[in-house]
DNA sequence: TTGTCAATTGTCAGCGGCTGTCATTAGCCT
DNA sequence: AGGCTAATGACAGCCGCTGACAATTGACAA
């Protein structure tokens, strides 16, 4: 943070983001107008749009941070690990370091509340799923590169990532509708659900 | 189609839908205004919104038809089939009967063109993925009922459906970016990709 | 310190999606 | 034919978002 200008900009952006999240998690996403957010920070509506491409972007900023972090973790996985192992470890490590990533901006509690707002707001959920879709493609390319494959010729990287991503989505939803919102809870759930993929696909579900 | 009123309504709706799809596939989704659509049918903008909840709904109507059909096919699968087998057969049968479902409203070719518009228009893709998410939940419940399981207690139905749905998404995208837009092409791709799931998850990708 | 340049912001006008309201039209039914 | 109800049009207005231009404010050098 060198110049005064930059610091001021950063403060404005932080204030906008914090006000937006606070309003979204109390009044709801649809119940909050961009004017509300701008007014809360005492800037013009136009200024809000200079910091965020849209209302959605503000709502998904925290998610984007954790997603970027997760992608980094996948990239840093030792190349000898099998793909699914690398993904699994990256995710588990990601949950472990969630606090460090988020807390620098807002309390983790706000992140969790916002997560539920996203899941329960159709337009936000849609945007979130689309972003996840993009992330899948990115990770598929990372894995393909690790394994020396061509993503367009060999379907396995995209398939593996799609499967993994599906499990993560189911896990996240189960967690967000459950009672234990601790990081431990989702870590455990993640590990457990990943183990259930095999049985879910091959097993005869009727014999307990 | 009993009364004159009902027939007129149906015709208005059909005209709106066809005009919308025609415009979307030529000028693009964002490049088409609701006023454009209404003007093409010579009704007021207000009337358009009495037939469709929004621009999105018109754009996703064909998809919705095929999805509803697919769900029906899953419901009709004999209960002794293993879950993944039932899903696989329902999908393959769905592609086989695509023509019958769509052609009653518009040429299948328009359906295919619209599919690509959806994939390439961020806001439509987002809405489409969200809808797929809802469909996953519905199908998970169908499978759970078949197998006598509680979806909230046993993660396997949701996991299996999430995996299957992921594979279908990858398949659909691959198909839409390929060269062969025939139904045979996607049927074959579907079968092939489903067979690749196992290897993608467990295999060591490096030994060819 | 001051003057110049550039970056940040506010204001305003306007578009497109969408909704509520109310008057008008058009099909239905006796 | 005339009354009832459903469908439509016209209008006003909210909200998200953008372009354009002017005003403000920090940066930096003379």
Per-residue pLDDT of A148-168, as tens digits, reads 999 999 999 999 999 999 999
Report pLDDT for A2.
84
Q: Where are the domains of chain B?
A: 1-52, 56-202
Cα dist. B30→A57, A119, B38, B72, B173 in Å?
Answer: 19, 26, 15, 32, 21
Q: Which of A166, A26, A148 lies closest to A83, judged by CA?
A: A148
Which two three-digit tokens encode residue A48?
A: 């809000």
CA B133 to centroid of chain Cα atoms: 12
Cα dist. B112→B88, B98, B107, B130, B133 in Å?
Answer: 21, 11, 9, 20, 21
Angle at the Cα of B134 from the Cα atoms of B129 and B140, rounded to 5 degrees = 120
Band of residue A208 on the pLDDT scale cut at 50, 70, 90: low
Report pLDDT for B46.
98
Q: Is CATH 1.10.357.10 correct for A54-202?
A: yes
Report pLDDT for A204.
82
Q: What tens digit of pLDDT does each residue of A82-108 get?
A: 999 999 999 999 999 999 999 999 999
Q: Which of A67, A194, A83, A93 lies closest to A142, judged by CA?
A: A83
Kindly provide the b/e burial profile for residues B78-99, where b requires at least 16 CB atoms within 10 angstroms of the residue's own CB: eeeebbbebbbebbbbbbeebe
How far apart are alpha carbons A118 and A59 in whole angstroms?
8
Please report, rounded to whole angstroms, the spatial distance between the CA atom of protein residue B23 and the C1' atom of nucleotide C26: 30
Q: Using a CB-CB distance cutoff of 8 angstroms, which residues of chain A are in contact with residue B199? A: 156
Instruction: Note whether B201 contacts A197, CB cutoff 8 Å.
Output: yes
Q: What tens digit of pLDDT does each residue of B115-137 get?
A: 999 999 999 999 999 999 999 99
Return the residue matching tokens 């183990």.
A195
Q: Using a CB-CB distance cutoff of 8 angstroms, which residues of chain B are in contact with residue A142? A: none
Residue of A nearest to B151 (CA): A174
- Averaged over A175-196, what is the pLDDT? 92
Lowest-pLDDT choice from A177-181, A188-192, B106-110: A177-181
Among B158, B189, B203, B208, which would you mutate to test the A interface (most chain A Cβ atoms within 10 Å of its Cβ)?
A: B158
Please report, rounded to whole angstroms, the spatial distance between the CA atom of protein residue A40 and the C1' atom of nucleotide D25: 22
Return the residue matching tokens 């038809």.
B65
Cα dist. A1→A8, A10, A102 in Å?
Answer: 10, 9, 19
Report the SS3 class of residue B150.
coil
Asked whether this chain's domains B1-52 and B56-202 adopt the same fold, the reply is no
Residues with Cβ within 8 Å of residue B149, at least 6 apart in sequence? A205, B156, B157
Give helix then strand counts, H and E, for chain B: 10, 0
How far apart are alpha carbons B98 and B112 in whole angstroms?
11
Instruction: Note whether B130 contacts A129, CB cutoff 8 Å.
Output: yes
How far apart are alpha carbons B3 and A205 in whole angstroms?
51
How far apart are alpha carbons A143 and A155 in whole angstroms?
12
Is the pLDDT at B157 greater than 80? The verdict is yes
Is the pLDDT at B208 greater than 70? The verdict is no
Long-range contacts of A42-50 (CB under 8 A, 24+ apart): A43/A12, A43/A16, A47/A12, A48/A16
Give helix then strand counts, H and E, for chain A: 10, 0
Which two three-digit tokens encode residue B71?
A: 């769900």
Is the pLDDT at A4 greater than 80? The verdict is no
How far apart are alpha carbons A140 and A150 in whole angstroms?
10
Count, residues in chain B: 208
Residues with Cβ within 8 Å of residue A145, at least 6 apart in sequence? none
How far apart are alpha carbons B78 and B63 in whole angstroms?
25
Q: Which of A103, A8, A12, A105 lies closest to A52, judged by CA?
A: A12
Return the residue matching tokens 């491409």.
A53
Contact B111/B62 with Cβ under 8 angstroms?
yes
Which two three-digit tokens encode residue B169?
A: 């998404």
How far apart are alpha carbons A165 and A90 in whole angstroms?
13
Q: Using a CB-CB distance cutoff of 8 angstroms, which residues of chain B are in contact with residue A160? A: 200-201
Cα dist. B207→B55, B154, B203 in Å?
Answer: 49, 35, 9
Cα dist. B108→B12, B90, B124, B132, B174 in Å?
Answer: 21, 20, 19, 21, 19
| Nearest-CA distance B14 → chain A (Å) | 27
Report pLDDT for B202.
84
How far apart are alpha carbons B94 and B102 in whole angstroms?
11
What superfamily would CATH give domain B56-202?
Answer: Tetracycline Repressor, domain 2 (1.10.357.10)
- Averaged over B42-62, what is the pLDDT? 98
Q: What tens digit of pLDDT does each residue of A47-88 get?
A: 999 999 999 999 999 999 999 999 999 999 999 999 999 999
* CATH class of the domain at B1-52: mainly alpha
Q: Which nucleotides of C are covered by protein (CB under 7 A)?
A: 7-12, 16-21, 27-29
């Amino acid at each position: 943070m060198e110049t005064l200008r930059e610091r001021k900009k950063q403060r404005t952006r932080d204030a906008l983001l914090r006000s937006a999240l606070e309003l979204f998690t109390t009044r709801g996403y649809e119940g909050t107008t961009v004017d509300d957010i701008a007014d809360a920070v005492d800037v013009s509506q136009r200024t809000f749009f200079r910091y965020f491409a849209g209302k959605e972007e503000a709502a998904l900023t925290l998610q984007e941070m954790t997603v970027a972090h997760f992608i980094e973790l996948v990239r840093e996985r030792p190349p000898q690990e099998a793909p699914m192992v690398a993904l699994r470890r990256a995710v588990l490590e990601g949950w472990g370091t969630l606090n460090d990533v988020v807390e620098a901006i807002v309390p983790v509690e706000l992140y969790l509340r916002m997560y539920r707002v996203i899941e329960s707001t159709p337009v936000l959920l849609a945007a979130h799923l689309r972003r996840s879709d993009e992330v899948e493609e990115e990770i598929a390319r990372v894995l393909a590169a690790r394994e020396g494959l061509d993503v367009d010729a060999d379907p396995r990287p995209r398939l593996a990532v799609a499967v993994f991503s599906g499990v993560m989505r189911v896990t996240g939803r189960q967690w967000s509708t459950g009672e234990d919102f601790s990081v431990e809870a989702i870590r455990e759930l993640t590990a457990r659900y990943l183990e259930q993929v095999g049985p879910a696909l091959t097993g005869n579900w009727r014999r307990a």
